[in-house]
Structure 1
Amino acid sequence: MHATVLVSSAGRRVGLIDCFRRSASAAGIDLRVLACDLEPELSAACQAADRAYAVPRCDDPGFIDALLRIAADADVDLIVPTIDTELGPLAAAAQRFRTIGTQVHVSPVPVIDVVRDKLRTTEALDAAGVPVPWAIPMEAARAASDQVSWPAFLKPLSGSASRGIRIVRSADELPAEPDEPMMLQQLLVGPEYTVNMFIDATGSLRSAVTHRRLRVRAGEVEKGRTERDPLFRRLAEGVARALPAARGVLCFQLIIDESAGPRVFEINARFGGGYPLAHFAGAEYARWLLEELVGLPSTAHDSWRAGALMLRYDAAVFAG
């Protein structure tokens, strides 16, 4: 049994590639892992892949055509995106990939449209009964600053990797001409968690693995520990209700605020940077995706281990 997976915008995702390889071996699948990036010669994950390709930026009009060529030439069975900004283009082009026999690990366009807009995310979660922080567009906050509870959290509507976020203490600190649409969000203080979710091809939530974000670097967990609590499973079920068309791997972030309690504030409809910790704890989402891909019986479960600890460190890949 054979499969070819292409990891897109691979960057530093060596750990994700390792998870796919270990999962394939355990499932008896002969796996070939390809990777692509803007500069594959400078990508550790591209160096770790069986073959690497250069592609344009994901906001370039030629990005999808480049992936289609790779998928056709290399008989790619599954494309796995790793950054938020490529989800929209890939979701919109999913049918074009299906026509050449390639699946894309991405939820449908309506799901991506919601999760890529943090205000729409808040509205969708709130409508599904999921506790969320208050959030308003920046200009609305400027116009009614006396009604805003300061300090607040300023962030881009479609930001990721902690880009452009900061605490503001009054309307005077709001940028006069931001480079992109911004929003204000309730400032939450308390422990932060990520919940990794696996929703199977039928729409059933099969697993929800929580880790506490003990240390974060550039928006990605550096040190984390899995924790099991019925609260987190209920929140994951609420996220699934809010996004009934979501499929595959997603993750969301929450803070248990010292005054307001749990508040979910972000959803990433892809493998999160901390996924290798969930995999180590026994929730092998990479394997379950491969099983769906090749038609094997699913081994998906929710019996992962609490107390699994991840301590990331810097390592080097050498080439040449």
Structure 2
Amino acid sequence: MKRILVTGAGGAAAANFIDSLRMAEEPFYIVGVDINPYHLACAEVESRYVVPRCTDPAYLSVLCRIIEREQIDLVHPQPDVEVAFLAAHREQIPARIFLPSMSAIRICHDKFWCNQVLAAAGVPVPKSVRITSLAEVSRAFEQIRSHSEGLVWVRAIHGAGSRAALPVRSGRQAEGWIRYWVEMKGLRPEHFMLSEFLPGREFAFQSLWYQGQLVTSMARERLEYLMGHLMPSGQSSSPAVARTVHRADVNEIATQAVKAVDPEPHGVYCVDLKENVAGCPCVTEINPGRFFTTSNFFSAAGCNMPYYYVRLALGESIPEVPPYNPVAEGLYWIRGVDRRPRLFHEVNWQEACVS
């Protein structure tokens, strides 16, 4: 039985990665590690360990001891910080890892740097400006506003889950929002960027690559956000309702984006896109080395990318699968707090809800 270690195992994204492996045709022995003992206690794993943060000097030695004790075959890091850490220390990890290049990870983990690399490669992206001081926020706002019909998107350059993101209508609002994060959360002005507000449909493109070749990919559209009504921005990065889509432009632009940050893509690349006023999907960020939170959506629909990822990482073959659109269009994945997600084929929702 293959033995897999999953970091951040108490989180939702890791739980859904594990759920995908449980859907596979073969059993797995899964070891979970996390910094939070309460969340880790709920992980569906065979063995669990509380570990220090990866910024702690003891983290690497603790992780390696667990890997050796549990005879781990493959380590899968799910949180971004651990993706970067394991990639940087891959030669010291006594198990296989399946991660992109360190250079690609560095680019993608800086959203402004990624935006500039993609723009230089001709990939559609929102117009963006990096902030270096609070004094220049109003000028930067006016520079971006002309591209986005009055609204400007303020966002943190680092982090996940729409961290510190907010649409604003004035330079004063943008400065106030950034000042709050500087004074209350310990960020600095240079941790922020202002971007063109993209008003259209939002897509998420999950892809698996092996030594420069696209193995398979699938796109979904976010229709409703999980707890979006509680977020100041009105949205989060995780969908409550998502639908599979077959969009050639989304597939092409996302593929071009991955190749722009890594000429030899290897591992998992998840690309977020949103339509501009002209309906063109623009890349807002790329998440390398880990899966989207809803990776089990495509697995339940018939394309189990986490399982294929594990087999490829261990040098094994996978079923023949097309590079694009491996599952049907119009499948819905509906999630909520304290309930299991459900997969629906396209239905007339008004009729479905009539008793």
TM surpasses 0.5: yes
SS of residue paired to 2:126: coil
Q: 2:40 aligns with which of 22, 40, 43?
A: 43
Task: Pick closer, same or farther for the CA change 1:92–1:77 going to 2, 3 Å.
Answer: same
Q: Which amino acid aligns with 1:104?
A: I
The equivalent of 2:66 in structure 1 is 70
Q: Which amino acid aligns with 2:275?
A: I
Q: Which amino acid aligns with 1:120?
A: W
The equivalent of 2:160 in structure 1 is 160
Deviation at 1:144, TM superposition (A): 4.8
Contact 2:16–2:294 (CA under 8 A) maintained in structure 1: no
Q: Which amino acid aligns with 1:4?
A: R
Q: 1:80 aligns with which of 76, 81, 89?
A: 76
The equivalent of 1:216 in structure 2 is 225
Deviation at 1:316, TM superposition (A): 7.6
> CA separation in 2, counterparts of 1:144 and 1:51?
50
Q: 2:194 aligns with which of 184, 201, 213?
A: 184
TM-score, normalising length: structure 1: 0.89
Q: Percent identity?
A: 25
Q: 1:226 aligns with which of 244, 248, 259?
A: 244
Unaligned stretches of 5+ residues in structure 1? none
Structure 2 residue 329 is the aligned partner of structure 1 residue 309: no
> CA separation in 2, counterparts of 1:44 and 1:124?
41
After TM superposition, what 4+ stretches of structure 1 lie above 6 angstroms from structure 2? none
Once superposed, what is the RMSD of the aligned Cα atoms? 2.1
SS of residue paired to 2:336: coil
SS of residue paired to 1:213: strand
> CA separation in 2, counterparts of 1:145 and 1:212?
29
Deviation at 1:51, TM superposition (A): 0.7
> CA separation in 2, counterparts of 1:42 and 1:285?
25
The correspondence of residues 31-180 of structure 1 with structure 2, limited to 5 A, is: 31-43=28-40, 46=43, 48-97=44-93, 100=94, 102-139=95-132, 141-149=137-145, 150-173=150-173, 174=175, 175-176=178-179, 178=182, 179-180=187-188
Unaligned stretches of 5+ residues in structure 2? 227-235, 341-355
Deviation at 1:142, TM superposition (A): 4.2
After superposition, the C-alpha distances for 1:227-286 in whole angstroms (9 at most, x for unaligned) are 112112212320232122432222111111233621111111111112111222222112
Larger deviation: 81-90 or 106-115? 81-90
Aligned residues: 307
Q: 2:297 aligns with which of 277, 296, 305?
A: 277
Task: Pick closer, same or farther for the CA change 1:22–1:8 going to 2, 3 Å.
Answer: same
Contact 2:259–2:265 (CA under 8 A) maintained in structure 1: no
> CA separation in 2, counterparts of 1:260 and 1:239?
18
Task: Pick closer, same or farther for the CA change 1:226–1:45 going to 2, 3 Å.
Answer: farther
Deviation at 1:205, TM superposition (A): 0.8
After superposition, the C-alpha distances for 1:204-228 in whole angstroms (9 at most, x for unaligned) are 0121201010111242122111011
Task: Pick closer, same or farther for the CA change 1:241–1:293 going to 2, 3 Å.
Answer: closer
Q: Which amino acid aligns with 1:106?
A: L
Deviation at 1:143, TM superposition (A): 4.7
Contact 1:194–1:253 (CA under 8 A) maintained in structure 2: yes
